[in-house]
Amino acid sequence: MKRNNKLTWPELMTKKEQEAKTYTTSSSYYVGDYIKHQSFGVGYVQDSFSNKLDVLFEDKARTLVHMVMF
């Protein structure tokens, strides 16, 4: 999937075609997903690693740690 990490926050919100998923540490997320974090609000997943997500929130980008159970 194409990464939109060069787009600004307002541009990402304008292009948003899906509802934000409530963030939990045990769910899977993919580049391009919108999440809703309890503390940080709505964010856009810019990159996904085995146990980390790079997410752009309105105020700044953050790396979130998550655990996916298989």
Q: How confident is the model at residue 4 (pLDDT cuts 50, 70, 90)?
A: low
37 is a domain residue = yes
70 is a domain residue = no
**Domain limits at 18?**
9-65
Cα distance between residue 31 and residue 5, in whole Å:
10
Tell me the backbone φ, ψ of residue 13, rounded to 5 degrees. -70, -30
3 is a domain residue = no
24 is a domain residue = yes
What's the pTM? 0.81
pLDDT digits (tens, 9 = 90+) for 19-69: 899 999 888 899 999 999 999 999 999 998 888 999 999 999 999 987 765
User: What DSSP designation does 38 have?
Assistant: T
